[in-house]
Amino acid sequence: MSATSAPFGLRPAFHPSGLDRAQALANGIPSGFNTDIFKGQPVRYQTTAIGGTLGTITPATTSGAWVGAFAGVQWTDTTGRARVSNYWPANTAYTTGSCDAYFYNDANIVYEIQASGSMAQTTVGNEFNFASVTAGSTTTGLSACTLDHSSAVGSGSQGQMRVVDIAPYPGNDWGDSYTIVRVVCAQSQFFGAFTAIA
């Protein structure tokens, strides 16, 4: 029974083709970027110079389009030492041109995520938004983002994730206090009209 809140962000479960590889984006996080980005945290492409650097990734918010889940980062620090981490530590400076940010960005990937409350089987096919999107642990490097169980959108509206199934683990059942579900991206930056996000 999923009775304990122990979120892990977005965890790729599978891809219909069998391939769920992370993309490496060269210089994908600006040197000195002042916000932690945790493994499993939903991210989006930075599409406006306001509040960020164009052509990089940044944490998603609790509404709007997103592109995928953060998977880790490698860089060379300012002393010349190579670094690898499953999360981006805020305010880290690196040698110019040395940063590769990894993230899953295929819109067909099916993820697992823990809900912030109980989910019923009737939620399959419905859309929801993220909650606690920037929460995480600098000890484990893991995101604590959840699916906001209270954010089901109505007809004609769009949420960030669509529930497609329950995660098929022993002790994880519909109606549990913190159900772990499988979702797909319902509001991808890859589709629809381009909208700059501040």
- Characterise 64 by phi-psi region: left (phi > 0), alpha (psi -120 to 50), beta (else): left
Per the structure block, which two tokens stand in for 150? 């209270």
The CA–CA distances, whole Å, from 175 to 2, 89, 103, 147 equal 9, 36, 31, 15
**What is the Cα–Cα distance from 1 to 42, expressed in whole angstroms?**
26
Q: What pLDDT, on the 0 to 100 scale, is given for residue 15?
A: 85
pLDDT of 47 > 80? The answer is no
pLDDT of 10 > 50? The answer is yes
| Residue 146 β-bridge partners | 131
How do residues 108-137 score in pLDDT, each as one tens digit?
899 999 999 999 999 999 999 999 999 999
**What is the Cα–Cα distance from 53 to 33, expressed in whole angstroms?**
9
How do residues 138-178 score in pLDDT, each as one tens digit?
999 999 999 999 998 877 778 999 999 999 999 999 999 99
Q: What pLDDT, on the 0 to 100 scale, is given for residue 19?
A: 66
